[in-house]
Structure 1
Amino acid sequence: MEQLNRLHKQIQFIHEVDKIKYILRRTRLFNSDRAENDAEHSWHLSIMAMVLAEHSNEPIDLLKVIKMVLIHDVVEIDAGDVFFFDKTQKHDNRPEEMEAAKRIFGLLPADQAEELISIWLEFEKGKSVEARFAKTLDRLEPMLQNASNQGGTWEEYNVKYDEVLDSKRIMKDTATPLWEYTQALLKECVKEGILKENEE
């Protein structure tokens, strides 16, 4: 009976997180006009974690990073997505996100709920080497998308070079090769005219 109850809770959670597939992000798929959804974003970051882990400046627990990127946006089922460059809303550590984490992960058996809330909070705080690497990936993917889409959301929301570069600085001490790649790519985007420099 206890095992059946545990399974019921896990299935309930699995049903609930299906909703993440319907949450559209501002960024669009590579070379596409279609908006990416949160499930696609999380999957892509997981693939990136496996492929790019070797570029971390410090050893990382890859499984923890993958768990982080798979669940980091689950709270948006309740709290909604906030565009990274939206200056009218706070992007990180919103109270509604904590409430969402408690509700959604709370559908699971207590031990699993506790683990996932803990991992989600670790990502949000961005202090551990795994959290910093996960955030690095979260900054890298939309940059690659925008570069492939002739500026994408940079163009649409008039985001300038300095803002984009500043948003990627977490990479500098976390994954130096990715930081160097980012700097070179952004300069190329400016040269190609798909990312505008700040006006003097």
Structure 2
Amino acid sequence: MLKRATSLPAAAVAALTLFAGCGASEFTYVKNSGEQTYFKVPHEWHEVGTKSLDDALTGLNSDSAAAGLRQRLWWSVAYDASADPSAEHLMTAGVTTEPILYARVAQTTEAQRDTISLDILRNFFLPVTEEARDSVAQSTSLTGFELLQDEVLTPENGLHGVRVVYNYDLGLGVLHTFDQTALVNNDGSKLYLLLIRCTTSCYAERSGELDTIATSFTVRSDT
């Protein structure tokens, strides 16, 4: 799997709030102009810090030099719809009845560029392909996998990737839905990720809202 220890220059997130029109939802528009990456989330969602989340995703000690370098090179943001917002809701094995979103832009290493494939992108967060699921079957409590959507994306020249939506029971008998969009530029030097998680019942109830967020994820690539 693609290791998550590399990333992109941290940049200030500019968020603008406005009304989309009469009767329409109010959104926060999130952008990193330097990385030409944009998406929107409902205005009532709460931004949460990503340092501990990035540490967990990379397996790095937060005091290590590698973690310090990552913080300088990555851009990542997270938004939680919970009334008690926490970045840990993305990683917990517990039940998340409100959606949480995580986005990242990251540089890849030369070694990673040689191995990035659509399947690597599919399996970026949790195992999705049959081969990946088989490889962890004996060492994980993940059960109840269901693939709901698997779409190859070519949003513009210079970018390609996938959007996968899938269900997992994380060990407590409750299905969760993960909606992941992962893109790379053509030389594989940059990875763009948007991940949304909540319980399957939550996802079904808010499917229109969550699809709007996922499809708002826009990247412009110079490569």
TM-score, normalising length: structure 2? 0.29
TM-score, normalising length: structure 1? 0.31
Choose between structure 1 and 2: higher helix proportion: 1
Choose between structure 1 and 2: higher strand proportion: 2
